[in-house]
C-alpha cells in the first residue's frame, strides 16, 4: 500500500521558487493525535507523533516519510485555491532545506513542497512553494492529481536531498490559508511564464513544419509550345482533310 503512494518523489525537492515566509495560522485540516499508519524507507519505524508533534531528528535522513490514513474521506474542495500551510519548529542543527506533504484519495495524489526557514525561535507556519494551491500542487501522480472531495491519506516526507541525518525540526500542524498578495503574484507570474512557453513551443513547431514542406516554385511555368508547321505543309494538310 505504501509503495502505491511513493510516486515521483525523487527529484521533487528540486522544483520551483522558494517561499519560506512565516504566515498567520490557517484552518487546520489534519489532526496529529494518533500514531502513524505507516512509515517507509529511512523513516521506517523511526518516527512517531507525540503530544500533537512530529519530531524529526537523527538518525533520520531526508529520504523517507510517514503517513496517516484519515478516519473518513475529507472534502477539501472549498480550499482548492487556498495555500497549503505547514507548522514547523526549526532546531539549531537542521540542514534539510524543505519538507514535502502528499495527499491522496485512493487513486491520484498531489505533492506540495515547503521550503523551511533557516532558523526560528518557535512554531511558525510556512506556505507551499511557488504559489502552489491545493488545486495546483508542486507535482502530481502519473494517475492524476488528488480528488479534493475525497482526501483519505496524508503523508509527511523528506525532500530526498541526501542520505545524511540532517533533520532537526518538529511538525505540529497542516492546514489551509487564503492566498496572500505575494502568493497571488507568484501564481500570476507562473501562469504568464507557462503561457509564454506554450506560445514559444507552438512557434517552434510551426517553423519545423515549414522547414520540412517542399518549396513551391515562384511562378508556374507554361508548358512548352508545339513547333509550327511550314505554311506549305499546313496547306497540304488542309487539302487532305
The per-residue pLDDT for 5 is: 43
Topology adopted by domain 3-186: Jelly Rolls (2.60.120)
Torsion of CA 142, 144, 146, 149, to 10 degrees: -160
Give the global pTM: 0.73
Give the pLDDT confidence of 161-193 residue by residue, as tens digits.
Answer: 999 999 999 999 999 999 888 888 887 877 788
Q: Output 203 or 27, whichever has higher pLDDT.
A: 27
List the beta bridge partners of residue 48.
none
Tell me how far apart the alpha carbons of residues 148 and 165 are, in angstroms, rounded to a whole number: 34
The per-residue pLDDT for 229 is: 55
The per-residue pLDDT for 223 is: 60
Q: Cis peptide leading into 59, omega within 30 of 0?
A: yes
Amino acid at each position: 500500500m505504501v509503495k502505491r503512494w511513493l510516486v515521483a518523489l525523487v527529484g521533487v525537492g528540486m522544483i520551483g521558487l522558494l517561499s519560506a515566509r512565516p504566515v498567520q495560522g490557517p484552518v487546520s485540516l489534519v489532526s496529529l493525535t494518533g500514531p502513524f499508519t505507516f512509515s517507509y524507507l529511512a523513516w521506517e519505524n523511526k518516527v512517531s507523533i507525540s503530544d500533537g508533534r512530529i519530531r524529526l531528528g537523527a538518525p533520520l535522513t531526508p529520504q523517507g516519510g510517514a503517513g496517516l490514513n484519515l478516519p473518513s474521506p475529507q472534502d477539501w474542495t472549498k480550499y482548492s485555491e487556498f495555500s497549503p500551510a505547514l507548522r514547523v519548529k526549526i532546531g539549531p542543527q537542521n540542514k534539510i532545506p524543505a519538507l514535502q506533504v502528499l495527499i491522496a484519495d485512493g487513486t491520484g495524489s498531489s505533492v506540495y513542497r515547503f521550503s523551511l526557514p533557516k532558523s526560528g525561535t518557535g512554531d511558525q507556519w510556512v506556505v507551499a512553494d511557488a504559489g502552489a494551491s491545493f488545486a495546483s500542487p508542486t507535482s502530481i501522480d502519473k494517475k492524476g492529481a488528488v480528488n479534493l472531495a475525497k482526501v483519505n491519506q496524508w503523508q509527511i516526507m523528506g525532500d530526498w536531498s541526501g542520505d545524511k541525518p540532517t533533520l532537526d525540526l518538529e511538525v505540529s500542524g497542516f492546514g489551509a490559508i487564503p492566498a496572500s498578495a505575494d502568493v497571488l503574484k507568484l501564481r500570476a507570474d507562473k501562469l504568464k511564464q507557462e503561457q509564454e512557453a506554450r506560445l514559444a513551443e507552438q512557434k517552434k513547431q510551426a517553423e519545423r513544419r515549414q522547414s520540412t514542406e517542399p518549396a513551391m516554385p515562384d511562378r508556374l511555368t507554361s508548358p512548352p509550345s508545339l513547333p509550327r508547321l511550314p505554311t506549305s505543309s499546313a496547306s497540304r494538310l488542309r487539302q487532305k482533310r
